[in-house]
Amino acid sequence: MSRDDVTLAVHDHGGQGVPLLLLHGAGRTLADWAAVAPLLARHHRVLALDLRGHGLSPDGTWNIGEVLGDIEAVLAEHGMPGALPVGHSLGGMLAVQYALDHPQVTPGAVNLDGYGWGRPDQYVGLDPAYVGERLTEVRELAAKAAGRVLPAGGLKDLLAQQRAMSGQLGIPYELLEEGVRRSVRERPDGQLEVRPGREHALEMLARIESLDVFALFRRMDRPLLLGRALRPVPKVPGLDWFDELMAAYVKGLARDLAELAEERPEVTVAEIDGTHAMLLENPRAVADAILGFTGGPRGTAGAGGATVS
C-alpha cells in the first residue's frame, strides 16, 4: 500500500477474529513472522508489515511519528484500524507507542523483548559507570555495522553465516535465508547493501535510544503483554565482557518487569523459551503467549493474561 510516495510491503496471512498487525525488529523484515503468523491466523486476522527502510518497503526519513503514520495508513487501507499491534524488539516498542497514540481504537499492545539496552542501573551487580562505558562500545559497534555494503561474494558469505547460526540456535535455515534475501538490495553501483541504508539506519538507532520504554509501559491503560526471552543471546566474538553484561541486564530486566506487573494490573509478563531470536527459534511458544493474551486457544506454553477484544 502507498503513503506519501512510500509504498509499504505487507504480507496478508488471512484469518478471522480480532485483527493483529505484526511488526519486526530493527534491521529485520516481516519474514521473521513466517512461522508464527500461520499459528495466529487460525484465530485472528493477521497482517505483517515491512517497516520503512526494511525488506521490500522503500526508504523514508526514519522518525517515530512517520513510522507510526505508516502503521495507521496500513491498518486503514486494510479496513482494520482497531488491530492489536504485536511487535518484536523495535517493533514491540513501536506497538506500545502506537497504542498510546491511538487510545480510542487500539485495544492494547504486545511487546516481545523490545527493551533496548536499558539503563546502567538495570545491570545488577555491576558499577553503572562501567556499564555506561561498555554500552557506549556496543552502540559504536551497532553504528559501525549500520547499512553495511557487501563486497563481491558477500551474499554467499552472509548466507554461510546464517547456516552456521541455524545449527547453533536450531532455527530452520530457510527462515534465515528468506530474511537475508529480503534485506539485501543491489545499489546503483552494483554493490549489495544490507537494509536499512546507512543514513536511515543511523536515524533509526538514534530514535531507539530516545525511547524510555518503561515510561511508555507505565502510561498504558489497556492490556499490555511484555514478553521476555529466557535464554541468553549467543556470545559475541571479541567481546569477552559481553556475557557478563547481558547476564546482569537479564537480572535487572526480570526484576523491573516483575515490579511493573505487580504495580499495574493491565500488564502481563510472559517468559518465553528462546533468545532474542524467539520468533524464529520457538514460534509455538511465541504464538501461545500471544494467544493466551488475546483469549485465543493456545498450547501448553502460553501465558495467562487479559483478554483483548
3-state secondary structure 264-305: CCCEEEEEECCCCCHHHHCHHHHHHHHHHHHCCCCCCCCCCC
d(CA 96, CA 101): 9
Q: Count Cβ atoms below 10 Å from residue 246 Cβ, excluding itself.
A: 17
Confidence class for position 306, pLDDT limits 50, 70, 90: low
Confidence class for position 309, pLDDT limits 50, 70, 90: low
Name all contacts of 231-235 with Cβ < 8 Å and 24+ positions apart.
231/273, 231/274, 231/275, 232/275, 233/275, 233/276, 234/165, 234/168, 234/169, 234/275
* pLDDT of 2: 43
* pLDDT of 304: 43
Between vectors from CA 39 to CA 289 and to CA 7, what angle results, nearest 5°? 100
Helix boundaries (H) for the chain: 37-40, 64-77, 90-101, 128-145, 154-169, 173-183, 198-210, 213-219, 242-263, 278-281, 283-294
* pLDDT of 235: 81
Confidence class for position 301, pLDDT limits 50, 70, 90: very low
Phi, psi of 3 (to 5 degrees): -150, 110
d(CA 175, CA 30): 11
d(CA 145, CA 147): 6
Mean pLDDT across the chain, nearest whole number? Answer: 92
Residue pLDDT, tens place only, 211-235? 999 999 999 999 999 999 999 888 8
d(CA 276, CA 281): 9
Question: Residue 268's beta-bridge partner residues?
Answer: 225
pTM as predicted? 0.94
d(CA 115, CA 226): 10
**Of 46-50, 161-165, 230-234, highest mean pLDDT:** 46-50
d(CA 215, CA 100): 11
Does residue 298 surpass a pLDDT of 70?
Answer: no
d(CA 82, CA 18): 9
248: cell is 546482569
Sole residue written with cell 535487572: 252
- The better pLDDT of the pair 301, 194 is held by 194
d(CA 189, CA 101): 41
* pLDDT of 6: 56
Does residue 302 surpass a pLDDT of 80?
Answer: no
DSSP secondary structure string for all residues of 97-115: HHHHH-TTT---EEEES--
Question: Residue 11's beta-bridge partner residues?
Answer: 48
Query: Which of 17-21, 99-103, 192-196 is the least confident region?
Result: 192-196
d(CA 283, CA 75): 24
- Tell which phi-psi region holds residue 46, choosing left (phi > 0), alpha (psi between -120 and 50) or beta: beta
Rounded mean pLDDT of 148-177?
90
Q: Count Cβ atoms below 10 Å from residue 117 Cβ, excluding itself.
A: 17
Does residue 113 surpass a pLDDT of 60?
Answer: yes
- Of the CA atoms within 13 Å of residue 58, those in its CB half-sphere come to 8
Helix (H, G, I), strand (E, B) or coil at 8: coil
- Tell which phi-psi region holds residue 147, choosing left (phi > 0), alpha (psi between -120 and 50) or beta: left
- The better pLDDT of the pair 237, 262 is held by 262
* pLDDT of 81: 96
